[in-house]
Structure 1
């Protein structure tokens, strides 16, 4: 990897840390804390939030008909996503140990915590649970896929890729035939944290 790429990646890491610091400061403003990954609001904060909740009857009365008609289509996607979850989790459980790739911690990706917000009504809370699961699942699958790609095929694409995963910048350049074997070994070493088999 070139030093220019290292420099850019270091700046990206610093920006991620800065973003996390800012999010932590916002916790103080909205009067909650995390205890063992569980949200704890101050009692006054919960009372304040409840004033902004739209009652379920009013919420449904104001809903656009198209929103109500499309809701079953959106929620029907739970079936293929749950199947994806099952298949990827089985793959992950069997193949990662076989290749010495560290397992992905599911809880680092799938977060279901928005239902603690007192200003959401029951439908909004259900929507937030659904979105938290689906987007977290996609993040979980992406991390598993990125570790798999780093182990088997750490080569950049010829064409631009929109928002590639974090490992992509360290992949080998497209067309680098001479550096491929050594680069593959280095990528496997990085993803498994040990020397790869020949």
Structure 2
């Protein structure tokens, strides 16, 4: 008798699971249909908002066009800087037990996927994403290096400070520096990105 009751309950549970699965599938189909519709609406809006290359070039001020080779010429030293700084941290940071900076946390290349940008705008976004990301990457490597070797604030106020600067010792405070520099280095080696 008890087995009969258990079998009934199991059958009801299976029926409810099937019903739940069917409802979830309906929801999923509705959701994917809505996403597909929204995706198509977004693509249509992007196509509408995208400025054609000829129009873009025709409406760009001549000085902007003439300055483009100067801007793009900076890419060569930037690539070299990227290479040198990456080698530097791969060689030196393990020696001092400093966590390496993850390049992918700073250099984010994603704006080229935006459908409302034309080819030139996508290339410009690619350049800016790379260059500004590289500057952040280099700045973080330099900040960790500075915290390890010379964690002393400047006498004059800086307009912009890096991520580690707030931990540095006051300019001219030799006592605190001597007593705390090893601890600050240790804190840096214990940091995880």
TM-score (norm 1): 0.75
- What is the match of residue 17 of structure 2? none
Shift of 1:163: 1.4
Alignment of 1:54 onto 2:51: yes
Where 1:134 maps in the other structure, the secondary structure is: helix
Give the 4+ runs in structure 1 shifted more than 2 A. 41-44
SS in 2 for 1:57: helix
- Tell whether 2:150 aligns with 1:153: yes
Residues 28-83 of structure 1 show CA distances to partners (whole Å, capped at 9, x for unaligned) of xxxx9xxxxxxxx9342222222100000100011111111110000000111111
Q: What is the SS of the residue equivalent to 1:178? A: helix
| Structure having the higher Rg | 2
Q: Which residue of 2 aligns with 1:79?
A: 76
Alignment partner, residue 99 of structure 1: 96
1:117, distance to aligned residue in structure 2 (A): 0.6
Instruction: State how far apart, in whole Å, the 2-side matches of 1:148 and 1:125 are.
Output: 34
Quick one: distance in 2 between partners of 1:163 and 1:78?
24
Distance in 2 of aligned mates of 1:92 and 1:125: 31
Q: Distance in 2 between matches of 1:128 and 1:122?
A: 10
Q: Distance in 2 between matches of 1:183 and 1:155?
A: 11
Give the helix-richer structure, 1 or 2.
2
Q: Counterpart in 2 of 1:177?
A: 174
1:109-188 matches, cutoff 5 A: 109-188=106-185
Alignment coverage as a number of residue pairs: 155
